[in-house]
Amino acid sequence: MDKHIFWLASYPKSGNTLIRAILSALFFTPDGVFNLKFLEYIRQFESTYNVYKAKKLIGEDLYNLNEVSIFYKYLLKIQQKKVLDFKEDFKFFKTHSGNFKINNNAFTAEENIRGVIYIIRDPRDVCISWSNHTGCSYDESVDFMTNELQSLLWVKGKNNLFEKNNIPVSFISSWDKHVISWTSNNWKFPLLILKFEDLVYKKEDIIRTIANFFTNNYGFKFHNLDQKIINILKTTSFSNLKKEETNEGFIEAQEGRKFFKKGTKDQWKNQLNKDQILKIEEKFKLVMNKFNYK
């Protein structure tokens, strides 16, 4: 293992797609002009196609991977560079998995990790965004976020091995446990924690923070950075992303629903009721205070 994975980690609906857009424009375009097709450069790790590529290493358990305790025995095998099959020194991967151990089997290993960017968002706004994304009610969204045993199905990739009843799952736990799992360890690799609200309202400052992070920790040199930033700001605005989704579609959207909604903060103030707000704030009080979500 050779530190070949750079994780872009977040709880669902916390801004992972926006940070992917920014990084795609920063790293994979000459001028910073972004369109949704560039997200292909930074794919989600939790695709069953990655499991398919590791099927020989998994063996007879291949059709039992919907059991989390079984699946986690093989996650490090799936993360081998020869399985992920890329030639670059390292590669970005999006993940919504929590950085947990199941029966002492870890989601990932420090030997794999080049670095991590973790994106955090006010959980009250996450609640609304998850509801909009999935079509569940706000009460159901609160229940989803506060469930410490919560898991998500992997995205079905380009293979026919997995049917609905045996798709692998990732353990995400509750919002606060997820945040702690990625941000509260004494890592030996660079970790950058970003707030969704800053990505939206202080985007230029955050892009420069990201560029400095990669320059200071990895020696990256970004050419024409000022011009790139101008174009990134324009082409990754929510209005531009919504327009592109309307015109071209977006593969990550749920059927019949738009992926890009408002992209603003404090939506919860006008949409959640007192009981819903209280459940979130009581459950997540310590972590919300730590990250100044008042």
pLDDT tens digit string along 51-61? 989 999 999 89
pLDDT, position 253:
44
Beta strands in the chain (DSSP E): 5-10, 91-95, 101-102, 105-106, 113-120, 151-153, 169-171, 191-195
What is the mean predicted confidence (pLDDT) over 81-104?
A: 94
What confidence tier does 280 reach under pLDDT thresholds 50, 70, 90? very high
Least confident of 127-136, 206-215, 220-229, 237-246: 237-246
Q: Return the SS3 of 120.
A: strand
pLDDT, position 255:
52
Residue 47's region, left for phi above 0, alpha for psi from -120 to 50, else beta, is: beta
CA 77 to chain centre: 21
Q: What percent of the chain has pLDDT over 70?
A: 90
What is the mean predicted confidence (pLDDT) over 16-34?
A: 92
Give 176 or 235, the one with higher predicted confidence. 176
Query: 157-197: per-residue pLDDT in tens?
Result: 776 677 766 889 889 999 999 999 999 877 789 999 999 99
pLDDT, position 254:
47
Query: 244-277: per-residue pLDDT in tens?
Result: 665 555 545 445 445 456 667 889 999 999 999 9
What confidence tier does 39 reach under pLDDT thresholds 50, 70, 90? confident
Q: Which CATH number fits the domain 5-47+75-155+174-290, given the four candidates 3.40.30.10, 2.40.50.220, 3.30.1330.120, 3.40.50.300?
A: 3.40.50.300
The model carries a pTM of 0.91
Give 105 or 155, the one with higher predicted confidence. 105
Q: How far apart are CA 188 and CA 180, in angstroms?
A: 17
Q: Would you say residue 84 has pLDDT above 50?
A: yes
Q: How far apart are CA 120 and CA 242, in angstroms?
A: 22
List of residues 6+ apart from 158 with CB closer than 8 A: 49
List of residues 6+ apart from 113 with CB closer than 8 A: 3, 5, 6, 7, 187, 189
Name beta bridge partners: 101.
Answer: 106
Q: Would you say residue 146 has pLDDT above 50?
A: yes
Query: 41-53: per-residue pLDDT in tens?
Result: 999 999 999 998 9
What is the mean predicted confidence (pLDDT) over 210-235?
A: 94
